[in-house]
Amino acid sequence: MPIHEILIILLAGLGAGAINAVVGSGTLITFPTLVAFGYPPVVATMSNAIGLVAGSVSGTWGYRRELRGQWSRLAWQMPASFVGALGGAWLLLHLPPSVFSAVVPVLLVGALVLVVAQPAIQGWARRRSEAAGVAADHVSRTKLMLLTVGTFVVGIYGGYFTAAQGILLIGVMGVLLPDSMQRMNAAKNLLSLIVNVVAATTYTIVAFDDISWAAAGLIAAGSLVGGSVGARYGRKLSPWALRITIVVIGLVGLWRLLA
C-alpha cells in the first residue's frame, strides 16, 4: 500500500471517529475514501465497519457521564440495536446495494427534519404532560415501545450501511424522549457501538477473506484518536450548536449519497 494511501485512510479514520462521536455519519468520509482507492463497495463497507469499532469505543467512553440515569431505557434499546444489526448484516451479505439506495436519502431527510423540529415537539409534549398531570420527564410505555421499535429499525439500517445511523437515532429519540441533546448523543454513541460490533463480528465470521484488514486497521487507528477528540469537544457544544452541526453534516452526507 503506497504511503499516500496509508496517510489518507488514517486521516479519513480520524475524521470519521470525531464526527461519529459528535453526530454520526463518519462512514460518509471513510467509505468513499476506500472506494476511491479501488476497494469494491461491499469490501469497503465491511472493512470500514470493522475499523470504526475502535472510534465507537473511544467516543462512547468520552460520553460515559451523560449515560447516567438512562439505563432503564437502554435496557430496551440495546437488545433492539443488537437484533437489528444482525438483520442488517444479513441483508448486506444477501441483497444487492441498490435495494437501500433509494431508501437511505429518504430516511436521512426525515431524521434531519425531526432533529430541527425536536424543540417544538418536545415543548408540545411537555405542555401536554403538564396538562394531564404527568411529570414532564415521564416516558410512557407506549413511547418506550415506539422507541424500541425505532431503535430496532435503525439497527437494521446500521448493520447494512452504517452511514448516518447516528443521525437517525437522534431523530427517533428526539421525538420520543424528554431529554437533552448531549444525553441523547451519549445513548446514540453506545447504541451505534453495539451495531458496529455486531456487524463487524458478523463480517469477520462470514466473510473473513473478503475484508481488507490493512484498511480496517488504518481506520481503527485513526478513529480511535478521532473518537476521543470528538467526545472531548462535542460535549462542550450547546444544544443548538450540536443540532446545527448534525443538520449541516447530515446535509453534506445527503449530497454525497445522492451524488
Q: What is the pLDDT of residues 58-87, one digit of tens each?
A: 999 988 998 888 898 899 999 999 999 999
Domain range holding 192? 3-258
How is 106-161 classified by DSSP, letter by letter?
A: HHHHHHHHHHHHHHHHHHHHHHHHHHTT--TT---HHHHHHHHHHHHHHHHHHHH-
Instruction: Tell the residue number behind the cell numbers 443540532, with chain if given.
Output: 243
Q: What is the pLDDT of residue 182?
A: 83
Q: What is the pTM of this model?
A: 0.80
Instruction: Tell the residue number behind the cell numbers 447530515, with chain if given.
Output: 250
Q: What is the pLDDT of residue 13?
A: 92
How many domains, the chain?
1
Q: What is the pLDDT of residues 23-69, one digit of tens each?
A: 777 777 788 788 888 888 778 888 988 999 999 999 999 889 988 88
Weakly modelled stretches of the chain, pLDDT under 50 = 134, 136
Q: What is the pLDDT of residue 136?
A: 47
Q: What is the pLDDT of residue 138?
A: 62
Q: What is the pLDDT of residue 139?
A: 72
Q: What is the pLDDT of residue 181?
A: 78
Q: What is the pLDDT of residue 75?
A: 93
What are the φ/ψ torsions at residue 178 (nearest 5 degrees)? Answer: -85, 65
